[in-house]
Amino acid sequence: MNDLISLNHGSGGKLSRDLIEKVFAKKFSISEPLTDSAILINKGFTLAFTTDSYVVDPIFFPGGNIGKLAVCGTVNDLAVSGAVPKYLSASFIIEEGFPVNDLRTIAESMAAEALLAGVRIVTGDTKVVEKGKCDKLFITTSGIGLLDPDLEHISTAKRIKEGDKLIINGPIGNHAIAVLGAREKLNFNTPVVSDCASLNRLINNVLQQCNKIHFMRDVTRGGLATILNELSGMTRFGIMLNEDSIPVDEPVRGLCELLGFDPLYLANEGKILIAVGAGEETKVLNLLRSDPLGKESEIIGEIVPDKRSSVVLKTTIGGKRIVDLLSGQQLPRIC
Amino acid sequence: MKYISEYRNEDLVKKLIALINKSVRRDYTFMEVCGGHTDAIRRFGIPSLLPENIKLISGPGCPICVTGRDFIDKAILYSRMHDAIICTFGDLVRVPGSSSSLEKEKAAGGDIMIVLSALEALEVARTNSKKKIIFLGIGFETTAPGTAVSIEIAQKDNIQNFFLLCAHKIMPPAMETLIKEGTKLDGFICPGHVATITGSDIFNFIAERHKLSCVVSGFEPTDILQSIFMLIQQVNQKKAEVEIQYSRAVTHKGNVIAQKHMSQVFETCDELWRGFGVISDSGLKLRRNYEKYDVEKIMPLNIKFEEEDSLCICGDILRGLKTPDECPLFSIECVPENPTGACMVSNEGACNTWYKYRQYE
């Protein structure tokens, strides 16, 4: 029984990492750090290459749909590696009985998002499976981007230093709560909308104007807590976070309290974590805030010396506690 | 008023801590008996802010933790019936039974759905009329009224494929049992959500008969700190009263309508609590009029249940006799992704919160 995949293996936490490291990375002889994109150095040019599958339920949600998500997600994986996203593939697994009109709507929003992000969808595939063999529609997108070799350090965090400041480009948890709300038909008084967006232009702007960006990662599945733990694990430093400065919209916070969720572990689709060298943080913060996708950016913490590489949260009331990797899915509480 | 940030105000917290520091005169041990309190105390790092002579211990307040392993085993057996859909609150899926868990059964093909309420399970029954929907009723006075209402609606709408596997419990008998069995306490941080339904009067017997201080508390840091301060005052003045700190939600008499639904559908029965054994009149079972919704009456199981692993000290933890770090399995063999005992499973279990919100030293 222990050897069956459970939903926890897909939650982005400890079990997901174990699955990738023990089942795939080892078999595929991957010894490089597990970053958002593979960095492929060739004679004269460097490529970033990434792939991601999208299985969101429901496929239409406030702020987007599975197609928009599939473009944004892959564009963002390339962009946070420091690359300029260029070409995408899109592969569709469609359940028998799926309305063609819905597929059209999804394709249209993919095209619109690709145009906005400045990428081309150049190849793809479709498979139709019997009813019940998949849930409506699954999409896999892969992407290729060009990487300036001077930016190779961004995905591996090798330039991270004590005192680096950590910035996020806006409130966390909106995507997870928007999707949960649509799935469970929770009628919110204040609508929560997914933050799903392509961040490559925002990121490019920052990279053009600041040469002290030491790390970037999109804050998706597993949430901010997971990304911070991955960052501290890749370096020999700890992270000190300030709970008060982590932006969370009021409706999201309220719902988290109600359901017993921690916003630090909720998925986002339009958020990046940036580590910037000390002294440059105000400049980067202002750059981010001048863009609609970064207008609520905040400095949320910094890199500190710590042999145990702990992520520590200074709580609102002045206590300090460890922020760990999530052990499985977050489940709603009972009462 | 946003009801969150105001109750987490650092200045207010500092003032309360200063008041507490000024009023301590001896050692104090207070027990919380609600999982929500256990979580909040650990999540906000409250013990690290208190003087050393105040000890906070967790009692049997997490509904998952006090649910006997036999309940999980029964649920698993029902989930293996070909025409059954098990509807359950989320946390319960991870609790290990004797040889499996609902989560593992789900991965192996069991039809197990996570619902947010009993009424949602009733909707599943309406839309799946050929299946038997078995709702796992757990929790205290907080969740029992919801289950009661779903049973009443099932009766009224003649829904015949909705069943209850019931382990609902009520809190006061467990509190009395642990006092009688010798857990040393100076007072209770009484459960705010339970009291919203029952009213605070339900705890009067603890003050009157057992001479222990009681404060019904809210769940935000300032609520909990104010409650601790109120308990210290009572102890210092040698008083034993039931006070309400959580006055924005709790009254003396509680939610009379919810109470009516509960007593319409349920009657008390002897019930097994993990860590305690059977406590008389501490459980809720369906009244005779509603027995046709009792899955154990309609589809009885004939199995014998095994004793639990002796190394796991969940029982002692639930009775406030030991803390999670005293367990030989804690954080070594027993971790959230591979729990040995129920206290490591639930978000609000003592072991889980100790592990998840480890203090940074």
Confirm or reject contact between A14 and chain B (CB < 8 A). Answer: yes
Q: Are strands B132-137 and B112-114 parallel, antiparallel or unpaired?
A: unpaired
pLDDT reported for residue A327: 73
CA distance A176 to A29: 33
From A71-85, A88-102, B65-79, the region with the lowest mean pLDDT: B65-79
Q: Where are the alpha helices (DSSP H) in chain B?
A: 10-23, 35-43, 46-49, 69-79, 102-107, 118-127, 144-156, 171-180, 192-198, 204-210, 221-236, 256-265, 295-298, 314-318, 350-356
- Mean pLDDT for B243-267 is 97
Q: What is the mean pLDDT of chain A?
A: 93
State pLDDT tens for residues B131-175.
999 999 999 999 999 999 999 999 999 999 999 999 999 999 999
The pLDDT of residue A265 is above 50: yes
- Mean pLDDT for B60-74 is 91
| Sequence-ordered list of residues with C-beta below 8 angstroms from that of A177, at least 6 positions apart, any chain | A192, A251, A252, A255, A256, A266
Most trustworthy range by pLDDT among A190-194, A260-264, A313-317, B185-189:
B185-189
Confirm or reject contact between A30 and chain B (CB < 8 A). Answer: no
CA distance A291 to A284: 11
CA distance A125 to A114: 17
pLDDT reported for residue B241: 97
From A2-6, A100-104, A172-176, B180-184, the region with the lowest mean pLDDT: A2-6
Please answer whether residues A302 and A258 qualify as being in contact, where contact means their C-beta atoms are separated by less than 8 angstroms: no
Q: Categorize the per-residue pLDDT at B308 as very low, low, confident or very high, splitting at 50, 70 and 90.
A: low
Please answer whether residues B30 and B189 qualify as being in contact, where contact means their C-beta atoms are separated by less than 8 angstroms: yes
pLDDT reported for residue B1: 59
The pLDDT of residue A200 is above 50: yes
Confirm or reject contact between B11 and chain A (CB < 8 A). Answer: no
In angstroms, what separates the C-alpha of A43 from chain B's closest C-alpha? 45
Which residues share a beta bridge with A40?
A47
| B69-170+255-298 CATH fold | Rossmann fold (3.40.50)
Interface contact flag, B91 A254, Cβ < 8 Å: no
In angstroms, what separates the C-alpha of B221 from chain A's closest C-alpha? 8
Q: Categorize the per-residue pLDDT at A1 as very low, low, confident or very high, splitting at 50, 70 and 90.
A: very low
State pLDDT tens for residues B92-101.
898 888 889 9
The larger pLDDT score, comparing residue A4 to residue B299, is at B299
Please answer whether residues A316 and A253 qualify as being in contact, where contact means their C-beta atoms are separated by less than 8 angstroms: no
Which residues share a beta bridge with A128?
A94
The pLDDT of residue B122 is above 90: yes
Please answer whether residues A94 and A128 qualify as being in contact, where contact means their C-beta atoms are separated by less than 8 angstroms: yes
From A7-16, A265-274, B143-152, the region with the lowest mean pLDDT: A7-16
Predicted model pTM: 0.85
Interface contact flag, B348 A260, Cβ < 8 Å: yes
The pLDDT of residue A4 is above 90: no
The larger pLDDT score, comparing residue A254 to residue B176, is at B176
Show the CA angle centred on residue B116, arms to residues A66 and B129, nearest 5°. Answer: 85
Residues of B (50-89) whose Cβ lies below 8 Å from A: 63-64, 89
Most trustworthy range by pLDDT among B26-30, B97-101, B305-309:
B26-30
The larger pLDDT score, comparing residue B316 to residue A327, is at B316
- Mean pLDDT for A154-176 is 96
State pLDDT tens for residues B333-360.
898 888 888 899 888 899 999 998 887 7
How many contacts, defined by CB atoms under 8 Å, are there between A and B?
Answer: 116
Half-sphere exposure of A39 (CA within 13 A, CB side): 22
Q: Categorize the per-residue pLDDT at A15 as very low, low, confident or very high, splitting at 50, 70 and 90.
A: confident
In angstroms, what separates the C-alpha of A229 from chain B's closest C-alpha? 14
pLDDT reported for residue B169: 97
Task: Record the tokens describing residue A287, joined without a space.
Answer: 């750059």
What domains are there in chain A, each with its CATH number?
Answer: 32-151 (3.30.1330.10), 157-322 (3.90.650.10)
- Mean pLDDT for A179-199 is 88
- Mean pLDDT for A148-167 is 94
Helix axis angle, A250-259 relative to A174-184, nearest 10°? 60
- Mean pLDDT for B181-188 is 94
* Contacts B335 to A, Cβ<8 Å: 327
Give the nearest chain A residue to B15 (CA atoms). Answer: A317
Residue with tokens 């599945």: A221
Give the nearest chain B residue to A239 (CA atoms). Answer: B360
* Contacts B106 to A, Cβ<8 Å: 6-7
Which residues share a beta bridge with B199?
none
The pLDDT of residue A95 is above 50: yes
In angstroms, what separates the C-alpha of B37 from chain A's closest C-alpha? 12
pLDDT reported for residue A8: 82
Q: Which of A244, A53, A43 is nearest to A143 (CA)?
A: A53
Q: Over pLDDT 70: what percentage of chain B?
A: 98
pLDDT reported for residue A335: 67
Half-sphere exposure of A116 (CA within 13 A, CB side): 15
Interface contact flag, A6 B103, Cβ < 8 Å: yes
Residues of A (176-205) whose Cβ lies below 8 Å from B: 184
Q: Over pLDDT 70: what percentage of chain A?
A: 99
- Mean pLDDT for B285-297 is 97
| Sequence-ordered list of residues with C-beta below 8 angstroms from that of B310, at least 6 positions apart, any chain | none
Most trustworthy range by pLDDT among A228-237, B63-72, B256-265, B298-307:
B256-265
Give the nearest chain B residue to A2 (CA atoms). Answer: B104
Confirm or reject contact between B107 and chain A (CB < 8 A). Answer: yes
Residues of B (326-355) whose Cβ lies below 8 Å from A: 335-337, 347-348, 355
Residues of B (157-196) whose Cβ lies below 8 Å from A: 193
Give the nearest chain B residue to A323 (CA atoms). Answer: B357
Confirm or reject contact between A312 and chain B (CB < 8 A). Answer: yes
Q: Which of B8, B108, B347 faces A260 most closely, judged by CB atoms?
A: B347
- Mean pLDDT for B299-318 is 80
